[in-house]
Every structure is written in structure tokens, then in C-alpha cells.
Amino acid sequence: MTTEDQGPDILCCPPLADHVLSEGDAVRLAAVLAALGDPVRLRIFSIIASQGETCSCNLEGPLGKSQPTISHHTRKLAEAGLIVGERRGRWTWWQVVPDQLDALAAVLGATVGADG
């Protein structure tokens, strides 16, 4: 399922080191981190992020994976709001959602408190 033009769900959580995460925020944030917590998905994401809009037909070669495997992983990334896809003919073209990556970096990037 591609997310198409409806905007993805962007993370909202304040920096991790600022306060104790609520259970709800932790569940949402963990889902995005878990989507990236897989080597194949990370490589797919880095291909799309570094090359710009990318056809799923151009992911097989660099990854050495079959199209069903690639579809499984792109779906996970899309569900996490990290990429969005547009179907053109038989292929989906993917691009990164910069706001989601920025939100994730902001959540992680806080200066750590007491122990500095």
C-alpha cells in the first residue's frame, strides 16, 4: 500500500533527553526506528535518499534482492512515514519524506542532560 499524496504521519515527540517518553509516544517513535532498524531497509532508504526519486525497478540490482522482498521492505518504510510512493504503470516510484527524517533526527539529537 503506497501513501501517495496524502501526507504521511510525521513524528511530533519532543527530544528524547528532555523528558520521560509516554507509552504512546514511545510506541509511535519505536515503530519508526524499528522500520530503519533493518540493514536491507536502511540500504533501500539510503539509495532513495541519496539518489532522489527512485523506481522500485532500480532497487533490485544494487540490493541483490527480489521484487517481492523489496516490496515488503518499501511497504514497511512507507508505513513508518519515511518514504512515499507513486504508482506509474507497473512500478512504484519512491521518495524520502524529509520532514520525517528531520523529526527523527530532532527527537534523537537533543543534548543529553545531567551527564553531558
Q: Are 11 and 33 in contact (CB under 8 A)?
A: no
* Cα dihedral value 14, 18, 20, 22, nearest 10: -10
Q: Are 77 and 1 in contact (CB under 8 A)?
A: no
**Distance from C-alpha of 49 to C-alpha of 19, rounded to nearest angstrom:** 30
* CB 58 to its own copies: min, Å: 12
* Interface with its own copies in residues 60-99 (CB under 8 A): 62, 95-96, 98
Residue ranges in 1-116 assigned as alpha helix (H)? 23-36, 39-51, 60-63, 67-79, 98-108
Listed ranges 4-12, 33-41, 65-73: which one lies at the site for its own copies (CB under 8 A): 33-41
**Distance from C-alpha of 57 to C-alpha of 31, rounded to nearest angstrom:** 26
Question: Binder to its own copies among 7, 12, 52, 55 (CB under 8 A)?
Answer: 52
51 lies in the binding site for its own copies (CB under 8 A): yes
Residue closer to its own copies (CB basis): 7 or 113: 113
Total of chain residues touching its own copies, rule CB under 8 A = 48
57 lies in the binding site for its own copies (CB under 8 A): no
What residues make contact with its own copies under the rule CB under 8 A?
16-21, 23, 26-27, 29-31, 33-43, 45-47, 49-53, 62, 95-96, 98, 101-102, 104-105, 108-116
